[in-house]
Amino acid sequence: MAGIVVIGAGQAGASLVAKLRALGYAGDLTLIGEEPVPPYQRPPLSKQYLLKDMALDRLFLRADSFYAEQKITLRLGQPVTAIDRAAKTVTVGGEVIGYDQLALTTGSAPRRLPAAIGGALGGVYTVRTLADVDAMEPEFRDGRRVLIIGGGYIGLEAASVAAKLGLNVTLVEMAPRILQRVAAPETSDYFRAVHAAHGVTILEGVGLDRLTGDGRVTGARLTDGRDLAVDFVIVGVGIAPNTGLAEAAGLTIDNGIATDALGRTSDPAIWAAGDCASFPWRGGRLRLESVGNAIDQAERVAENMLGAGQDYVAQPWFWSDQYAVKLQIAGLNTGYDRIVTRKDGMEGSEPSVSFWYYGGDRLLAVDAMNDPRAYMIGKRLIEAGRSPDPAVIANPETNLKALLKG
């Protein structure tokens, strides 16, 4: 028996192999990863780990002994160079490994600045891997000047860590406002105010023209003509799914590796899950970049690889930590036409507030800042397909928990 091979040793890959063993799969099981370390958590990298609030060993998803005990073969530090669908083999480290079923959990990669505008200069970083964060850690010293390109969650989280460590932080976002692609203006306003209170300079509607320096970045020219002196740069302009291996193998690509509702690709022996996979969603296709999706989708794919035949129904949720603010997001806000604001006082040093996204009469999503109750209740309402009257949500006297009854 050739068994099951999983390519990609991130959150999705680790969840998939663990679920296969938990379901009683006893065949050969191999997990292959490009990085030289076992599967680890990515979200804490640019926060607790960079702040030295989390030790390296706490990043790992499982103890080393888990893989040996579960008879999971780990192949680390070696990229897969080819998939031969006809022969049902993958090539890694010059070795050819056979499979009965193959799962692609190849994740995503950060978009980088073109070399033509200085993207290849020293001191220019992206935030994705353990190696990325280890490489940039020596830069985070009190009083240094960091330029952050991109006002999405990655850029804002990097800004919060840098400000906490005493750096002079400038963040530029070429869109008219931070978080424009993913959140309502109300959420943007909330985080803009929080960052301003911590001394971060946010420039919106301004892009990067080019980075300057001789071998190493020393400055930046912005699209409005101003020049900034910088000590280093963090690029947070989004990620792209790692589809190269799948594309070379002739699999269908559609904003990621296209799967059916079960998680199966255009090759019936190959499956996909996590950041790299797009799946059917409300008449279209969806690709989710989140830990929650990586775990849930990978576990459903594991079940289906063993014959469960159950569609994956996404229940999207996300989070972001910035300073003393914990943002929790339930649902997807695509198509919203109304925001309902609910204020619930203070949680620590920052105000608690939640923004409820409605499309017509339908509750689509909730952004909850330091308000775990609003997040939890909103998530359960969305998953149940229930949409309370917006006026009820906005009323501070409303007992949200009571909305779950009946």
Averaged pLDDT, 249-268: 98
Average pLDDT, the chain: 95
Report d(CA 289, CA 158) in Å as an integer.
Answer: 18
Model pLDDT for residues 119-143, shown as the tens digit of each residue? 999 999 999 999 999 999 999 999 9
pLDDT of residue 64: 86
* Residue written as token pair 């994705």: 128
Domain 324-404: which CATH number of 3.30.390.30, 3.30.2290.10, 1.20.120.1770, 3.40.50.720 = 3.30.390.30
pLDDT surpasses 90 at 149: yes
pLDDT surpasses 70 at 104: yes
Share of the chain above pLDDT 70, in %: 98
Query: What is the dihedral angle through the alpha carbons of 1, 256, 313, 4, rounded to the nearest 10 degrees?
Result: 10
pLDDT surpasses 90 at 279: yes
In 1-159, where do the E strands start and end? 4-7, 29-33, 73-76, 80-84, 89-92, 95-98, 101-104, 108-110, 124-126, 145-149
> pTM (2 decimals)?
0.94
Report d(CA 7, CA 242) in Å as an integer.
Answer: 11
Averaged pLDDT, 323-334: 95
Averaged pLDDT, 204-219: 97
Please give the residue that has the higher pLDDT: either 1 or 189: 189
Averaged pLDDT, 216-222: 98
Model pLDDT for residues 19-56, shown as the tens digit of each residue? 999 999 999 999 999 999 999 999 999 888 988 899 99
Report d(CA 118, CA 349) in Å as an integer.
Answer: 39
Domain 112-235: which CATH number of 3.40.50.720, 3.50.50.60, 3.40.50.1010, 3.10.450.50 = 3.50.50.60
pLDDT of residue 345: 62
What does each C-alpha distance from 108 to 1, 8, 138, 238, 284 come to in angstroms? Answer: 31, 10, 25, 10, 21
pLDDT surpasses 60 at 271: yes
Alpha helices in 78-151 (DSSP H): 130-136
Domain 4-109+239-305 has CATH 1.10.10.60: no
If pLDDT is split at 50, 70 and 90, which confidence band does 348 have?
low
Phi, psi of 97 (to 5 degrees): -120, 130
pLDDT of residue 405: 85
Model pLDDT for residues 177-192, shown as the tens digit of each residue? 999 999 999 999 999 9
Instruction: Check residue 72 and report its DSSP letter.
Output: P
pLDDT surpasses 80 at 400: yes
Residue whose C-alpha is closest to residue 128's, from 98, 154, 152: 154
Does residue 271 sit in helix, strand or coil?
strand
Averaged pLDDT, 8-12: 97
pLDDT surpasses 80 at 347: no
Which two structure tokens, joined as six digits, stand for 338?
């109304």
**Would you list the domain boundaries of the chain?**
4-109+239-305, 112-235, 324-404
Q: Check for a shared fold between 112-235 and 324-404.
A: no
| Beta bridge partners of residue 172, listed in sequence order | 149, 203
One-letter amino acid identity for 41? Answer: Q
